[in-house]
Amino acid sequence: MKVKVWGARGSVPAPGPEMNRYGGNTSCVELELCGGSTLILDAGTGIRGLGVGFAAKLPTINILLTHLHLDHIQGLMFFAPCFRSESSITIWGPSSPEASLAARIGRYISAPLSPVEVRELPCDVSFLDTPATEWELGGARIRAESVTHRGPTLGYRITDSDGTTLTYISDHEPGLGAPLEEIGQEWISGYDLARSADLLIHDCQYTDEEYPDHVGWGHSRLSDTLTFARRTDARRVMLFHHDPLHTDDFLDTFLDTANGRWRALGGEPGQLTMASERLELEVSAPAPAPAPAGA
C-alpha cells in the first residue's frame, strides 16, 4: 500500500513561510492499494492539490470522511473531479440522527457559503453512511467505527488484499477521562481499529503542556497518542493533525521529544513519523515467520 499525505494540519489551514515543510493544508491522505485502486481519506484543503493531477486518471473515486468538521470537508468544493462529468464520486461518512450525510454536507456546498449546490455539480456524486459491518472497496476490507471526538466521528481500519493494515484516526481524544496506561483494552476508544496496524495515522495535536487548556476539545496530547499506539501495538505511527500554531521548527522539536518518549515506552527507533504534506510512504505487512525446520 502506498500512502501520500496531501494535508496534515488540523482545525484550520495554516499557510505561511514558517509552515512550508510540514504544510498548511488540512487533513487529506491518499492510499494506493496493491491492486491499483485509490482511496481518499478526508477532504480537507489538501484534496485540492490531489485533485489537480487526479481527475483524468480515475473516473471512479471513493472518499472516506471521518467527520464533517470543516477541516475535513473544506476541499470538496475545490476538488477538480467534482467538476468533470465523467467523474463518479462516492463520499462515505458517519451517520447522524440529525440529518442525512448528503443534507449535512449540503449545508457547506450551498448558499451563502458556496456558489454552487451539490445538484449543480456535473459529476455523478453519491453520499453513503458507512456500513455498520466491514465492507469492501477496491479489493480492500474497510471497517469504520465511532471514536471519541466532538460530534459523530469515525476512525477507519483498511486491510489491503495483501494483508497490509492501515488505521486512520485523524481526530481523537482517547485519553479523555480514561487513563490509557491502566484501563482495559476493551475500554479504549479506537482499540479494535488500531490493533497491530502496520501504519497508524493518529491525531497528535497538542503537547502535554498545551493539553490542560484543551481537555475535551477532541484531540490528543503527545503522551496519549504514544500510549494509545503502544497499547494497540502499532508497527509504525504517523503523528497527524498538527495544531495550526505549530511551526516547522516547533514540529521538529516535537518529533525529537516524541522519539525520546517512544523509546522510554519501549518503542523502537524509526517507528514514528511526523506527517508532512506530500510525504509518501510504502507500507507493508510483516513477512510471515519462516516455517520451523522439518515442518
Interface residues with Zn ion (CB under 5 A) are 10, 69, 71, 171
Supply the minimum distance, in Å, between the C-beta of residue 222 and Zn ion.
17
Supply the minimum distance, in Å, between the C-beta of residue 68 and Zn ion.
9
Supply the minimum distance, in Å, between the C-beta of residue 238 and Zn ion.
15
Using the minimum distance from each CB to Zn ion, give the nearer residue, 15 or 260.
15
Q: In the bound complex, which residue of the shown chain has the CB atom lying closest to Zn ion? A: 69
Using the minimum distance from each CB to Zn ion, give the nearer residue, 71 or 277.
71
Which three three-digit cell numbers place residue 158? 483498511
Using the minimum distance from each CB to Zn ion, give the nearer residue, 65 or 166.
65
Using the minimum distance from each CB to Zn ion, give the nearer residue, 83 or 108.
108
Supply the minimum distance, in Å, between the C-beta of residue 265 and Zn ion.
25
Range list of H helices, the chain: 46-54, 101-106, 191-194, 222-231, 248-264
CB-based burial label for 293 (10 Å; 0-12, 13-18, 19+): exposed
161 DSSP β-pair partners: none
What's the chain's Rg over C-alpha atoms? 19
Supply the minimum distance, in Å, between the C-beta of residue 241 and Zn ion.
6
Contact 31, 6 (CB under 8 A): no
- Calpha distance 176→208 (Å, rounded): 13
- Calpha distance 216→177 (Å, rounded): 9
Using the minimum distance from each CB to Zn ion, give the nearer residue, 105 or 121.
105
The closest of 172, 168, 170, 169 to 149, measured between CA atoms, is 172
